[in-house]
């Protein structure tokens, strides 16, 4: 098992901030996937981005259905996706935004 270097800890801390994950000192009882990666002794600098990617993949998608229509006998649904929550501390504005309409 490899111990984490200062560089990998700093990288995971910054990725945690950008992922919108609360710090370990918050009142959330269950550790987030990013926090688990940061505290796992076997995760080194080379695995930091993989852990971040895996943690982001586990976040639920946020979207709103805005329309339903029929096109050539096929039901079309339009959705408005919302971004991740990038700044739980309110450091980045807007913390969430809409990326545009998706049709499915």
pLDDT in tens, the chain (104 residues): 344 444 454 444 444 444 444 444 434 446 666 677 777 777 777 887 888 788 778 878 888 999 999 999 999 999 988 876 665 556 667 766 666 656 65
Are residues 15 and 50 part of one domain? yes
Residue 80 lies in a domain: yes
Q: Give the residue numbers spanning the domain of 43.
A: 6-57
CB-neighbour burial class of residue 50 (10 A; exposed 0-12, middle 13-18, buried 19+): exposed
Q: Are strands 74-82 and 102-103 parallel, antiparallel or unpaired?
A: antiparallel
Residue 83 and residue 98 in one domain: yes
- Is 42 a member of any domain? yes
Element (H, E) at 75: strand 74-82
11 & 46 share domain: yes
Number of domains present in the structure of the chain: 2
d(CA 35, CA 64): 29
Q: In what order do the strands lie in the sheet with 102-103?
A: 62-71, 74-82, 102-103
**Among 57, 74, 94, which residue terminates a domain?**
57
Is residue 33 located within the same domain as residue 68?
no
Same domain flag for 98 and 72: yes
Q: Are residues 10 and 53 in the same domain?
A: yes
- Report residue 35 as tokens: 């926090």
Same domain as 45, residue 15: yes
Output the six-digit token pair for 94: 């807007």
What does pTM read for this prediction? Answer: 0.42
Strand-pairing partners, residue 98, are 82
**Tokens standing for residue 4:** 């984490």
């Amino acid at each position: 098992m490899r111990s984490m270097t200062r560089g990998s800890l700093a990288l995971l801390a910054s990725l945690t901030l950008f992922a919108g994950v609360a710090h370990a000192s918050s009142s959330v009882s269950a550790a987030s996937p990013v926090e688990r990666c940061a505290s796992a002794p076997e995760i080194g600098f080379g695995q930091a981005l993989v852990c971040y990617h895996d943690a982001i993949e586990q976040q639920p998608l946020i979207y709103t259905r805005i329309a339903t229509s029929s096109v050539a006998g096929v039901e079309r649904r339009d959705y408005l996706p919302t971004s991740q929550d990038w700044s739980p501390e309110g450091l980045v504005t807007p913390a969430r935004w809409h990326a545009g309409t998706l049709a499915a």
